[in-house]
Amino acid sequence: MIRRLLLLSMLALPLPLGAQSPARRPLAILGGVGLQFGEENYGPGVHLGGRFTAYARSWFAVRIDASYDTFGTIGTYNVAPCPGSCAIPTGDRIKMLSTNASIRLGAPSNPAWVLGFGVYGAVETPSDGSYVRPGWNVGFTTSMNPPVFFEMRLHGLLGQQNTRSFAVLALGVWL
């Protein structure tokens, strides 16, 4: 359902909007895939996000991102009964909400570096339950066509939890 809405919104963009420079359009939506690092038996996931560009110049921009990432189980595994106090799984998926402030270093129509920090909220995890942690992100972005861009970012969480980081490959469209 969400994929259909995303596709329809991308196809419904008027042509004059597509001719504008990405630096003049402050809003974007993103969708893609991700991989988490830390929790065993959890594989690729889905990334959905939105972006607001608060400040933009020819080689520098300040952006605010909000995103939702979810990662499902892969394969099967058996859990043997354990005596005493054992960790009880708290969910069958990893679900993350995040808000990030980042900077883009490079021209909007050329490849550019992305650096930032943010707050990551785990809505559900298999072993740690829910929590909120600060984190960082670093990545790369490039324009594919004036309204469309590709972005790759690595997000790292600070603290002592099993989900330590995740990488995201996403396509975005400027609105």
Per-residue pLDDT at 102:
98
Phi–psi pair at 18, nearest 5 degrees: -65, -20
Distance, CA of 172 to CA of 102 (rounded, Å)? 16
pLDDT at 112: 96
Q: What is the mean pLDDT of each run of 10 residues along the chain (175 residues)?
A: 46 38 79 92 93 94 97 67 54 90 92 97 88 96 92 95 93 96
DSSP code string of 14-50? -HHHHTS-GGG--EEEEEEEEEEESSTTEEEEEEEEE
Helix ranges (DSSP H) in 38-163: none
pLDDT of residue 175: 93
pTM, to two decimals: 0.78
How many Å apart are CA 138 and CA 155, to the nearest integer?
Answer: 7
Question: Rounded to whole angstroms, how far apart are CA atoms 157 and 105?
Answer: 23
* Structural domains of the chain in order of their starting residue, each with its CATH number: 33-70+93-175 (2.40.160.20)
Cβ-in-10-Å burial (0-12, 13-18, 19+) of 110 comes to exposed
Q: What is the pLDDT of residue 125?
A: 86
Cross-strand bridge partners of residue 100:
65, 118
Question: For residue 22, what pLDDT is reported?
Answer: 47
Q: What's the Rg (C-alpha) of the chain?
A: 18
pLDDT recorded at residue 146: 80
pLDDT of the residue at 10: 47
Q: What angle do CA 116, 36, 156 make, to 5 degrees?
A: 25
The Cα–Cα gap between 70 and 46 comes to 6
Angle CA 69–73–78, to nearest 5: 150
